[in-house]
Amino acid sequence: MAMMEISVVPLGTGTPGVSRYVAGCLQKIRDSGLEHQLTAMGTIVVGEVDELLRLAGELHRLPFAMGAQRVVTSIKLDERRDKALSINGKVEAVREKCRS
């Protein structure tokens, strides 16, 4: 299992606000059925590497379909094979060490 953090930034939209594009991307993530968490600077999605990369391509193309002239997409991919990854598990591992 893997985890991807993705940030899709549409440019050339004629307005500084991009929440309409973010909402479109979030709906596509929801439709995928994959576990996800929206953050202030991107979205974390959990799944198999192939499905995450396929979804990343779809998310990158979506703002073009909505009228953006340019799209910059940043992806971080974390795959761990010795144990399962989870969004909350990664956060809790750091919090536990902060309490020590």
Q: The whole model's pTM is what?
A: 0.90
Identify the pLDDT of residue 83.
Answer: 87
Quick one: three-class SS letters along the chain? CEEEEEEEEEECCCCCCCHHHHHHHHHHHHHHCCEEEECCCCEEEEECHHHHHHHHHHHHHHHHHCCCCEEEEEEEEEECCCCCCCHHHHHHHHHHHHHC
Q: pLDDT digit string (tens) for 17-26? A: 999 999 999 9
Distance CA 23, CA 36 (A): 14
Confidence of residue 89 (pLDDT cuts 50, 70, 90): confident
Identify the pLDDT of residue 79.
Answer: 95
CATH number assigned to the domain comprising residue 41: 3.30.70.930
Q: pLDDT digit string (tens) for 38-78? A: 999 999 999 999 999 999 999 999 999 999 999 999 999 99
Q: pLDDT digit string (tens) for 9-19? A: 999 888 889 99
Number of domains in the chain: 1
Closest CA to 29 of 58, 67, 63, 70: 58
Domain encompassing residue 36: 2-99
